[in-house]
Amino acid sequence: MTERPFKVLGVQQIAIGGPSKTALRNLWVDLLGVPATGTFRSERENVDEDILTIAGVEIDLMEPIDPARSPKVHEPRLNHLGLWVDDLRAAVAWLGAQGVRFTPGGIRTGAAGHDVCFIHPKGDAGSPLSGEGVLIELVQAPAELIAKG
């Protein structure tokens, strides 16, 4: 294995899905008091989400636009974990060369405007390494976070 050309800098987000954001908002916003800071909706990604932020970490409350269609953002309920990385392109290239499987779509702009790429929760014959059951979002860190490094 060659030297890793990137560094994980911290947790960027935790994404929680449910059949309806109403119950999730009741817990996270109304009862716990986590501030809502934005929304995101994507037909292509089958998601309608509220974005909350606490201590610099996003908590995304997601419901499917169409529960019968994939991706099923409400299954599992803890949908994915996002990690800040200092060099997303280097991370994807290096991890891919190690046999890590990524979800379709490659590097793209995510809900918060950062470039993202997802490690698939399950490996396959061509790329046997995976998130071991967990969908992991790699997120390109902004320059100010990289500088704190």
Tell me, what CATH number does 21's domain have?
3.10.180.10
What tens digit of pLDDT does each residue of 4-26 get? 999 999 999 999 999 999 999 99
- Say what the pLDDT of residue 65 is: 98
What is the pLDDT confidence band of residue 112, given thresholds at 50, 70 and 90?
A: confident
Amino acid, single-letter form, for residue 69? R
Residue 2, domain member (yes or no):
no
Q: Give the pairing of strands 135-140 and 78-85.
A: parallel
CA distance 139 to 108: 10
What is the pLDDT confidence band of residue 2, given thresholds at 50, 70 and 90?
A: confident
Q: What percentage of residues in the chain have a pLDDT greater than 70?
A: 99
Domain with 132, as residue range(s), is: 8-148
Q: What percentage of residues in the chain have a pLDDT greater than 90?
A: 92
Angle at 70 between CA 92 and CA 74, to 5 degrees: 90
Average pLDDT, the chain: 95
Count of domains observed in the chain: 1
Other C-beta atoms closer than 10 Å to the C-beta of 138 total: 24
Residue 142, domain member (yes or no):
yes
Residue 29, domain member (yes or no):
yes
Query: For residue 91, which phi and psi values (nearest 5 degrees)?
Result: -65, -45
Residue 51, domain member (yes or no):
yes
